[in-house]
Structure 1
Amino acid sequence: MTTTADLETLLAAHESDAFSPDALAGLDTLEEFPGSAVRLLDDAGMPAHYVLSPDGDFSETVQLLRTVARRDLTVAIAHGKTFLGTAPVWVAGTPEQAARLAERVRGGEAVCWGLTERDHGADLLASEFAAVAETDARVDADADADAVGGGWRLTGEKWLINNATRSTLACVLARTDPAGGGRGFSLFLVDKRRLPEGAWRNLPKVRTHGIRGADISGFALDGAPVPADALVGEEGDGIPVVLKALQLTRVACTALSLGAADHALRLARDFATGRELYGRRLADVPHVRRILGRAAAAALTAEAVSALSARSVHTLPGELSTISALTKAYVPTLTQETLGSLGELLGVRGFLTSPPGGGFAKLERDHRICAIFDGSTVVNRAALLNQMPRLARQLSRDRADTEGLRAAADLTAPLPPFDRDRLTLLSVTGCSAVQTLPDTAARMEEEGPSEAGPLMARILAELALLERDSADFVPMTGGLPSTAFGLAERYERAYAAAACLLLWLENPPLRTGRLGTDGLWLRACLTSLTSLLGEDDSDVFGALADVVLDTPAREFTLWGGAV
């Protein structure tokens, strides 16, 4: 196991070789896999953090992935994919399956997740990849003795799969009931090394617009025999297990966006401080400072959402169906918008693929995929809207898991063990962070900076409108109207505001230093969440820009640490 600080030190020491920006950019141009960087992460013990043991810390895994992502998104996505491939086993596997998998993951073996297919994309219920039970023959000559009978034959193709070729293990969704349906699919952990020759065929690498060096390919199986203990969960549990595993992976994906925001802010800061326009520094131009300040506020808001959601994996697992969907919709979308604004600041340098400024073009291009995988923004907002009637009812009730919420918000509180049995497909208790906003606002009146008062009034007014409008919302069969997605966005912003407020209240260290004094970061985040077009918010964003410009760190974080 490694710490975030140790990993940062290690990667900094290898900026002239494995993590050299020029070398990684060169591999991207050649569309070659960043093997040296991945091996360095393996040797550093990074894979051990993809094992979600009961005594582990999911939020630490997110921070480690962020550390890699702020240097290169291709490396982070290629390496972190193993967590996605293993998540179904942590959610539904037997203790024996989990132990065997954990040993191999800690040894650096890559695992892929075979969900999507060429003709069906995200429509998992249309998947054709099939598994047929074998009940009267040995699965293969080399199988364990307990694999006589009860094995399976897998046939079909999975496509656009990250690490499909490089992985030694694949968690595959297969149709086990020809009729399909919600209980017609099952998950299998396939060990390539145990398959007979010819049973597994790699498909060619797919050329992509971003993350060009990643192993985005696919595979085809033709009657591939797997033992009975390859089944993850019970037969027919495939779709429910996938949905529960996505509750973890969608939160983990925020690490990629946080790292991208770190990288982009650093490039914009260096450009603004090193460039002169009409005899003065670009960093001194009010409009530029406002862009930087807004971008920094967005990055800090995304960090607050990610931090609260990652810790909620341990403290509020029953609410993750809601939390993960809104988090995955909100953070990558906000970050992509932020990259767009910083690209305008960089001007033509934002489009260059070689120095100076070439790093931003690759970064912005690579990040676009983050809003798509593990459910696109639209898919996640639809999932949130499908729970909106329940969430609306909970908004009107004075009930929430306040103990779990405060444990999630207090960044120094010990985390309880991850309890997979508390994961549910629908949140019975709604979303405690949003439902307790009125109580949180009351606490802010007593403990918060006076400057935040008008912002709190606006947040509560917007919450009241959200409660009114969501009460009238009814999900429609056959699709959702485009106007409904605005309701999901408003709910996401309410959660983001709650995350900022809760972190402020539960963590006194976040009220100190240049970011914390007079509630600067909090006021900037709340202003970005509530400000109306044309409002004069230049003072708070200008003050935040000062901190960005004076912080020679790789990351711009609520903790204010230069790592």
Structure 2
Amino acid sequence: MSTTPTAVARAAADTAGPPAPPPDAAEDTAHGVERAARLERLLGDPCDPHNPHGYRALLDADAQRHVPEATEALLTDVRLGAEFVPRDLGGRLARPDVLARALRPVFRRDVALGFGYGITSLFGASAVWAAGDERRRADTARLLLSGGRATILHHELAHANAILRDEFTARSAPGGGFVLGGRKDVVINADRADRFVMYARTATSAGPRSHSVLFLDPERLPPGGLRRLPRVPTHGMRGSRFAGLEFTDCPVPAGTLVGDVGDGVQLALRTFMVNRCLIPGTVVAGVDSALRFAVRAATEGRPTGQPARRHQAVLAGVFADLLACDSMAVTGLRALSLLPDSAHLVAAAVKLTMPDLLREDLEELATVLGAHGYDRGPLYGGFQKLVRDLPVAGLGHAGSAACQAVLVPRLRALARRSWFCDEEPTARLFLLSAPVPPLDYRKLSLSGGDDVLTASLVGAAERLGPLRGHGPLWAALADLADAFVQEMRALREQCAALPQSAQATLADPRACTLADRYVLVLAAAACLGVWEGQDGMDSFLAQPEWVVLALTRIGRRLGARVPELPDTATGPVLDEVLLRYREGRSFDVYDTRIAG
């Protein structure tokens, strides 16, 4: 790989980057990897029909709409709740990318379990980590460290995840505190959460100061103030416990307020930055399993171990997509720590891009699985469960409309002030194992306007230009990078002409289309960044084939003019899929050993 771009070539990008992480940041990575490997071993081979944490047990629980009690007990024993508590409060949460790795063994087996037992508590507690006082932060940490749960009460699924929908209200009480009202019919863990984090309307008029956050202990609410509604059956995540809550003239003290009155919308926008990257960064492990089902179906009973020719391009292409999605998710997760001022752009792009890509991948894999895709047994039954679960998981927090609401109003300013002007980000953003500073929810901001990924794309294209003469793959890669840079130039011209008013821009249908094109360009930039970050390493990710295939597929979705895919691109990617399958290694960017 001596002729590829090197870390030295990007060293200039680090001169204006964030300060170096503390010495113990490397230990955070190692400990997180160890925890993930230990949990993988404890959960065991998911295809073993006798494994109490395997697919058979999980599918049986799902069919009966029960939580998998044995596996939840295991997660309690390993203190999974500590992953959601910041390290300075006695937990393990330091780096979002390490958190995602620690959770992937759970999501690889059951997305519903990952939400129902796991990250929903973090989504609830994140407002406390961002704005709670020291007493509230300490109390919440003790709750999660002891195995307790929190849940979040805000937007309705039917409302496209709009935080400004007023399901709950909190009017000021004459003697202080608030009086709660309102109803929500679908709340995960409503019947068993120890704490509720409520986003409630506290102002009669609309606007950015219309909502506030309240932290509620249901056991301390006055009789008659809260009515628990029946459990709601859902098509996906059937084992998760969704139920309703109704508040009626329910008084609560002033001390339940998190932050200040009117902070709710800003807190939601800031904390959802983490959720938008963490959900894709964990759900990708579920699609990893779906690809494994397809490889098994395509190679089963074939003496050569090679899938039929008609399936080869699908398996290689979905694998390339998974690496692309993971590159984007990991980049977004690392940006939360490294670039807290501008990570909101990357986070919204991650959440806007990945659900569609992963959904398309499942549709492609269904063509390989054939009749196996309807199998309910332990070898293939997880596929249909994942198909049911992913839409619920994707809509559970900050959906597409909310992400577009972050990006669309900024397109005009980005086009005029940022694109082709900003400096490249620190190379550490794309170095998968490099330490980053601990995540601090209090530092996350919506004020930054730098677009670090497009700057990285432009730099990568410049570095690839001289490599065109090294063969068809390098020429194709250089041409692909240029194609995405040209797309950015076209976007700059069109976005610069958008209305100056954010409200007018949001009402302009062209703007949503431009945002959808823009986030695909960012996905390409993340792929190139992760590929460059592997330079000099003896790994599959350091080779050009996967990134050529990934960028070609992204470019075709975008409708960009991309070069013909070289004949030599697909074969090595397919070989890697089959090798990882045989050796029991994950299909993500980390390439780790898995059970089974």
Question: Could you tell me the TM-score, scaled by structure 2's length?
Answer: 0.84
Is the partner of 1:402 in helix, strand or coil? coil
Asked if 2 retains the 8 angstrom alpha-carbon contact of 1:33 and 1:213, the reply is yes
Aligned residue in 1 for 2:41: 9
Is the partner of 1:201 in helix, strand or coil? strand
Q: Distance in 2 between matches of 1:386 and 1:283?
A: 49
Aligned residue in 1 for 2:461: 441
Q: Distance in 2 between matches of 1:411 and 1:22?
A: 34
Q: Which moved more, 1:58-67 or 1:230-239?
A: 58-67
Q: Distance in 2 between matches of 1:442 and 1:196?
A: 65
Matched AA of 1:131: A
Aligned residue in 2 for 1:484: 511
Matched AA of 1:459: F
Aligned residue in 2 for 1:407: 428
Deviation at 1:495, TM superposition (A): 1.3
State the Cα deviation string for residues 249-277 of structure 1 (Å, max 9, x = none).
Answer: 1111113431122111110111111045x
Deviation at 1:550, TM superposition (A): 1.9
Please say if 1:416 is aligned against 2:437: yes
Relative to structure 1, the CA distance from residue 480 to residue 353 in structure 2 (aligned partners, 3 Å threshold; closer, same or farther) is: farther
Map of 1:49-448 to 2, 5 A cutoff? 49-53=83-87, 56-79=94-117, 80-117=119-156, 122-134=161-173, 136=175, 150-276=176-302, 283-354=306-377, 357-400=380-423, 402-403=425-426, 406-429=427-450, 431-445=451-465
Aligned residue in 2 for 1:500: 527
Map of 1:504-519 to 2, 5 A cutoff? 504-508=531-535, 511-513=537-539, 515-516=540-541, 518-519=543-544
Asked if 2 retains the 8 angstrom alpha-carbon contact of 1:305 and 1:500, the reply is yes
Structure 2, unaligned stretches of length 5 or more? 1-30
Q: Distance in 1 between matches of 2:484 and 2:505?
A: 33
State the Cα deviation string for residues 418-443 of structure 1 (Å, max 9, x = none).
Answer: 343432234322x2111332123223
- Which contiguous aligned blocks of 4+ residues in structure 1 show a shift greater than 6 angstroms? 446-449
Matched AA of 2:126: A
Aligned residue in 1 for 2:82: 48
Deviation at 1:461, TM superposition (A): 2.3
State the Cα deviation string for residues 115-143 of structure 1 (Å, max 9, x = none).
Answer: 0258856343340422233453xxxxxxx
Asked if 2 retains the 8 angstrom alpha-carbon contact of 1:132 and 1:176, the reply is yes
Asked if 2 retains the 8 angstrom alpha-carbon contact of 1:56 and 1:417, the reply is yes
Is the partner of 1:318 in helix, strand or coil? coil
Q: Distance in 1 between matches of 2:194 and 2:567?
A: 53
Q: Which has the higher contact order (CA 8 A, sep 6+)?
A: 2
Aligned residue in 1 for 2:550: 525
Relative to structure 1, the CA distance from residue 538 to residue 86 in structure 2 (aligned partners, 3 Å threshold; closer, same or farther) is: farther
Give the total of aligned pairs: 542
Aligned residue in 2 for 1:458: 483
> What do you get for the CA RMSD once the two structures are aligned?
2.6
Matched AA of 1:68: V
Asked if 2 retains the 8 angstrom alpha-carbon contact of 1:401 and 1:432, the reply is yes
Percent identity between the two aligned chains: 27
Relative to structure 1, the CA distance from residue 455 to residue 105 in structure 2 (aligned partners, 3 Å threshold; closer, same or farther) is: same
Is the partner of 2:489 in helix, strand or coil? helix
Q: 1:540 aligns with which of 555, 569, 572?
A: 569
Relative to structure 1, the CA distance from residue 484 to residue 212 in structure 2 (aligned partners, 3 Å threshold; closer, same or farther) is: same
Deviation at 1:47, TM superposition (A): 0.9
Deviation at 1:157, TM superposition (A): 1.4
Asked if 1 retains the 8 angstrom alpha-carbon contact of 2:413 and 2:496, the reply is no
Deviation at 1:345, TM superposition (A): 1.5
Q: Distance in 2 between matches of 1:72 and 1:162?
A: 16
Relative to structure 1, the CA distance from residue 356 to residue 555 in structure 2 (aligned partners, 3 Å threshold; closer, same or farther) is: closer
State the Cα deviation string for residues 6-30 of structure 1 (Å, max 9, x = none).
Answer: 1111111786444121111111111
Is the partner of 1:217 in helix, strand or coil? strand
Q: Which moved more, 1:304-313 or 1:246-255?
A: 246-255
Asked if 2 retains the 8 angstrom alpha-carbon contact of 1:73 and 1:366, the reply is yes
Deviation at 1:377, TM superposition (A): 2.3
Is the partner of 2:243 in helix, strand or coil? strand
Relative to structure 1, the CA distance from residue 348 to residue 382 in structure 2 (aligned partners, 3 Å threshold; closer, same or farther) is: farther
Asked if 2 retains the 8 angstrom alpha-carbon contact of 1:455 and 1:527, the reply is yes
Asked if 1 retains the 8 angstrom alpha-carbon contact of 2:161 and 2:399, the reply is no
Is the partner of 2:164 in helix, strand or coil? helix
Deviation at 1:165, TM superposition (A): 1.2
Asked if 1 retains the 8 angstrom alpha-carbon contact of 2:231 and 2:241, the reply is yes
Please say if 1:24 is aligned against 2:58: yes
Deviation at 1:400, TM superposition (A): 3.6
Deviation at 1:401, TM superposition (A): 6.3
Question: Could you tell me the TM-score, scaled by structure 1's length?
Answer: 0.89
Asked if 2 retains the 8 angstrom alpha-carbon contact of 1:555 and 1:562, the reply is yes
Q: Distance in 1 between matches of 2:385 and 2:83?
A: 27
Is the partner of 1:317 in helix, strand or coil? coil
Q: Which moved more, 1:101-110 or 1:526-535?
A: 526-535
